[in-house]
Amino acid sequence: MSERTKRLISTKDGAMEYAREVAHLDATEMICGLILEHNISSKELAERLGWSMRRLNRIINGSAGDSTLNELCDALFAFGVQMRFTYGPLATGSDL
């Protein structure tokens, strides 16, 4: 762990911000990995979601400021844990 990270997480606010960043990074890496795994373009993903490319890019680049995700991270932080992501097949078994 870098000295910068150690300094950041040495305060409650810094540790909370770090947990948010880890959650955002996990989600973004998962989305990008799935794009590659399923051999689809970002444009196709945006179309499937009914989103503009601008919106998708803002989310992938971490500039969307997703307050819901931040609030969930903050709530978990209050319990001394951080959000981590995983995924699995849909319960319906559907191949979208």
pLDDT tier for residue 7 given thresholds of 50, 70 and 90: confident
In Å, how far are 32, 50, 92 from 45, measured between CA atoms? 10, 9, 20
66 Cβ neighbours under 8 A, 6+ residues apart? 24, 59
Q: Domain coordinates of the chain in residue numbers? A: 10-77
Record the pTM.
0.67
62 Cβ neighbours under 8 A, 6+ residues apart? 24, 25, 28
pLDDT in tens, 18-44: 888 888 788 888 888 888 888 989 899
- Given a cut of 70, whether residue 48 has pLDDT beyond it is yes
- pLDDT computed for residue 39 by the predictor: 92
- Given a cut of 70, whether residue 65 has pLDDT beyond it is no
